[in-house]
Amino acid sequence: MLALNLLYELTHPNAVYSVAFSSDGKMLASASLDNTIKLWDNSTGEEKARLRGHGDGVCGVAFSPDNMTLISASLDRSIRFWDVASGTLQTTLSAHQDYLGCMAVSADGTMLATGGYDKEVLLWDVSGRTNTMVLKGHTDAIYGVAFSPDNQQLASCGNDDSLRLWDCKSAQQQQTFRGHTGAVQGVAFSPDGQTLASAGSDQTIQLWNVASGKLDRTLRGHKGLVKCVTFVSDGRLLASGGSDMTIRLWEADTGKQRTMVVGHSNTVYCVAFAPAGDKLASASFDRTIKLWDLEKSS
């Protein structure tokens, strides 16, 4: 059996859009429509810092691999780089011609991707803090981006009902995956890079074979749009969240639902596993982040 046991409930004054763990699992960052980012101690649930500077809701957040820098993206069309230790703002970059809706950092920390309502995906060099490529192909707003574990490919999804795969070096589109009937809300690579998971407005999660482009499996259970999906570090489990206010855990190889909790009182916008795979964080429009202990029993 699998169980999600609530450890802490953390709050913002407004909806929480995104959460991310530090690579050592000690900290959690949360991004909110209250225009702030909060840093939390995972062992105590204590708020350690509050980062202010964005002029609109913060839609994405990620730590650098060394946990020294925090990167945030906002509806104010800016990307900001923060010093984690001091909480000071280092750099602000302007991005996109319309709302900036999502972001991802590559596993090696060298690249940043942002997706906008302007239908474009932008690739950024993190060390130089410059825009290096523009990926064009989507015909509507982009809701999700994810790098492959080997940093060679980027997946994007959005309101044009498609999931697209890009080469990070050439900026060429490699594949288009179409299976959802409605917007694709979120995307994640499996740790081995062989599977793409997509979260759909059609209440399903779809698992795609990256090499062949074929749909391997469709996961059904959510009673509303699925907003987010993510893999645990060993690749055996997926977590998902959506407008039915539930968090669900699934077996990646069989598609079987292992557990479900009604964890929030509004849409679950983001789910993230701790690097060790022993905890899960969920962020919701109910203004809370919940930190869960993942309990496995035979």
Tell the CATH topology of 12-224.
Answer: Methylamine Dehydrogenase; Chain H (2.130.10)
Take residue 142 and report the two structure tokens written for it.
């982009």
The two structure tokens encoding residue 94: 């302007």
pLDDT at residue 138 greater than cutoff 80: yes
Q: Would the pLDDT of 106 be above 80? A: yes
Name the residue among 68, 95, 101, 65 with its Cα closest to residue 80.
Answer: 95
| Half-sphere CA count of 157, side-chain side, radius 13 A | 28
Mean pLDDT of the chain: 97
Which residue ranges make up each domain of the chain?
12-224
Q: Which residues pair with 111 in a beta bridge?
A: 125
The amino acid sitting at 205 is I
What pLDDT score was predicted for residue 1? 74
Whether the CB-CB separation of 200 and 188 falls below 8 Å is answered with: no
Give the global pTM.
0.96
Per-residue pLDDT, 297: 66
Q: What is the pLDDT of residues 231-287, one digit of tens each?
A: 999 999 999 999 999 999 999 999 999 999 999 999 999 999 999 999 999 999 999
